[in-house]
Amino acid sequence: MSLPEEDLTCPVCCDIFRDPVLLSCSHSFCRSCLKQCWDTRVRECPVCRRKASKSPPPSNLALKNVCEALQQVRRQITEEEHLRCSLHGEKLKLFCLNDEQPICVVCQASKLHKNHDCSPVEEAFLDCKNKLELFLKSLQSKMESLKMLYRTSADMSTYIKYQTLETQRKIKSQFEQLHQALHDEESARTEAVKKEEEERITAVKEKMNKLSAEMLSVTETMSAVEKQLKEDDLNLLKNFKATQDRDRGTVDGLDDMSGLLIDVTKHLSNLKYRVLEKILDNVGYSPVTLDPSTAHPCLILSEDLTSLHYSKQPSCCPDNPERFHVSAEVVGMSSLGSGSHHWIVETGSNQDWLLGVASLSAPRNTEVAARPENGFWTICFRGGELRAMNSPPTLLTIKSKPEQVKVQLDCSKGTVSFSDPVDHSLLYEFTQTFTEPLLPYFYTQSTKPLRIMPEKVIITVLQQ
């Protein structure tokens, strides 16, 4: 190629011509470079400033062919250099298995690769290609998992907003109930004060009426006495006894003014305490609260999280790892790791349930039997029969289906017992050394609810 490289360079972009065009002044430019110049300036040659024709400039085919040939030579040189060792200039015919890079025969004999295992590049190409294909498959699988996690995260974000609104609504509802209870109690107590006011005023008015009558009687007596004093001696003596007897008719007790005021102490003494005590009589404490984040989508929990029932229509909840994914199960909120605990579950007309405790690490994403070897200590009622879920299950003899079941966990003794709270009869007891915290456990596939019974709250006053 006789032309020097600078003659093949566009004066605008200073690079090899791409689709060159020729102006009437014999200067050539890339078509795109010339268009850019003309878009911003007048239509003239960017080099000599000679006015250009209004017609589109023709392609410089000869220059285009020379430039394309130059580019082809450059690519070939680059490819050849790519296939040669950068240290020795020899062709890369081997692949070092230790360093996982192509080398030449001189590299193989050098200290860097002398004792390394090598293979021909053709064989290494096939091996590496297979490995990369497997790696690509693993990356594709990882990408699918990441996409699934991303979708789950997006679902969780939406569900968190829903949870926030629902929780706020339920909090507001319960406080409205408390406000209403306080308002009703306030109304009742202010009405009691008003009623006592009316009774006291009535009593005072009655006393005032009696006092008025007595005052009238005394006035009349005084007039009679004054008149008697003006008469002669004999008439005074004749009417003396009658005048004396008139005063004996005075009503007794008119001077007793006690007990007429409002009994303020009765209405205000320890008012807050007595109102709280009365409200607590109607508000039970649940020893176990269900954890909605663990509930299977087909389980419907009550607003106060103390009852559950089954629904064939699953709820829209995220697939979080804490949730039971396969079976209609849920656990309590608080883990129990020490001490003694008990709760009573009302089974009512539910004919398909399991109750007991589950270990904190019990599996939740696979279907396993709720038995001790899997971290569950439960009893099961199904098909009209009650069983302790051992391996195999133990059929329990009962007179009738229990309407309530008391579950008692004693961590120090290592026992989980089940009894009928009505007659206190023991249904079954597991003995186990627990190595991790436990959670109250519930299962049902019945539309009839299981309900955790509330316990009465007792306020104790400590005397100082």
Q: Identify whether 341 is part of a domain.
A: yes
301 lies in the same domain as 189? no
Per-residue pLDDT at 221: 84
pLDDT number for residue 114? 78
- The answer as to whether 94 is a domain residue is no
Is 29 within 8 Å of 8 (Cβ atoms)? Answer: no
Say how many C-beta atoms besides its own lie within 10 A of residue 30's C-beta: 20
**Structure tokens given for 241:** 């006894």
Same domain, 242 and 310: no
Report yes or no on 379 lying in a domain: yes
Distance separating alpha carbons of residues 374 and 213, to the nearest angstrom: 92
Q: Which of 7, 24, 5 minimizes the C-alpha distance to 34?
A: 24
In the listed set 281, 315, 333, which residue is the last one of a domain according to the structure? 281
Angle subtended at Cα 31 by Cα 26 and Cα 36, rounded to the nearest 5 degrees: 110
| Mean pLDDT taken over the chain | 89
Domain-terminating residue out of 55, 82, 109: 82
Are residues 430 and 317 located together in one domain of the fold? yes
CATH number assigned to the domain comprising residue 311 = 2.60.120.920
Of 386, 350, 360, 374, residue with least CA distance to 440: 360
Question: Cα separation of 4 and 66, whole Å?
Answer: 11
User: Does the structure show a pLDDT above 50 at 96?
Assistant: yes
Q: Are 402 and 350 in contact (CB under 8 A)?
A: no
Structural domain boundaries enclosing 208 = 165-281
The answer to the question of residue 45 being in a domain is: yes
pLDDT at 1 over 60: no
- Residue 280 pLDDT grade (very low, low, confident, very high; cuts 50, 70, 90): confident
Task: Give the helix/strand (H/E) hosting 275.
Answer: helix 271-281
Whether 327 and 374 map to the same domain: the answer is yes
Please give the angle made by the CA atoms of 34, 40 and 46, to the nearest 5 degrees.
45
Q: What is the CA radius of gyration of the chain?
A: 51
Task: Name beta bridge partners: 444.
Answer: 353
Enter the DSSP assignment of 270: T
Looking at the structure of the chain, the number of domains it has is 3
Measured between alpha carbons, how far is 410 from 418 in angstroms, rounded to an integer? 12
Are residue 309 and residue 445 in the same domain, yes or no? yes
- Rounded to whole angstroms, the Cα distance separating 149 from 236 reads 119
Burial of 379 (0-12, 13-18, 19+ CB in 10 A): buried
Contacts of 386 (CB under 8 A, 6+ apart): 379, 380, 395, 396, 398, 401, 402, 427
pLDDT exceeds 80 at position 6? no
Q: Does pLDDT of 247 surpass 70?
A: no
Looking at per-residue pLDDT, the higher value among 460 and 124 belongs to 124
Please check whether residue 442 is in contact with residue 291, taking contact to mean a CB–CB distance below 8 angstroms.
no
**Mean pLDDT confidence for 159-181:** 92
**Residue 29: strand, helix, or coil:** strand
pLDDT at position 253 is 64
| Residue with token string 């070939």 | 76
Whole-angstrom Cα distance, residue 388 to residue 405?
13
254 and 328 part of one domain: no
- The reply to whether 176 and 299 lie within a common domain is no
Average pLDDT over residues 450-462: 85
Tokens for 270, please give them: 């320890």
Do both 185 and 223 map to the same domain?
A: yes
Is residue 460 domain-resident? no
pLDDT at 2 over 80: no
What is residue 282's predicted lDDT score, i.e. its pLDDT? 79
Residue percentage of the chain with pLDDT more than 90: 55
pLDDT at 109: 79
Closest by alpha carbon to 350, among 377, 387, 310? Answer: 310
Global pTM value = 0.65
Residues 262 and 328 in one domain: no
Residue 249's SS3 state is coil
- Whether residue 123 is contained in a domain is answered as no
User: Is residue 244 over pLDDT 90?
Assistant: no
State the average pLDDT over residues 143-171.
92
**Percentage of the chain surpassing pLDDT 70?**
96
445 lies in the same domain as 300? yes
CB 112 within 8 A of CB 120: no
Task: Classify residue 338: in a domain, yes or no.
Answer: yes
Last residue of a domain, one of 248, 281, 314: 281
Answer yes or no: is 296 within a domain. Answer: yes
The answer to whether residues 317 and 447 belong to one domain is: yes
Residue 127's pLDDT is: 87
Instruction: Look up tokens 């009765």; give the residue.
Output: 266
Q: Is the pLDDT of residue 83 over 50?
A: yes
Answer whether residue 458 shows pLDDT above 90.
no
Q: Does residue 58 have a cis peptide bond before it, meaning omega lies within 30 degrees of 0?
A: no
Confidence of residue 333 (pLDDT cuts 50, 70, 90): very high
Residue 104 Cα to chain centre, angstroms: 62
**Residues 238 and 332 reside in one and the same domain:** no
Examine the pLDDT at 308 and tell me if it is beyond 70: yes
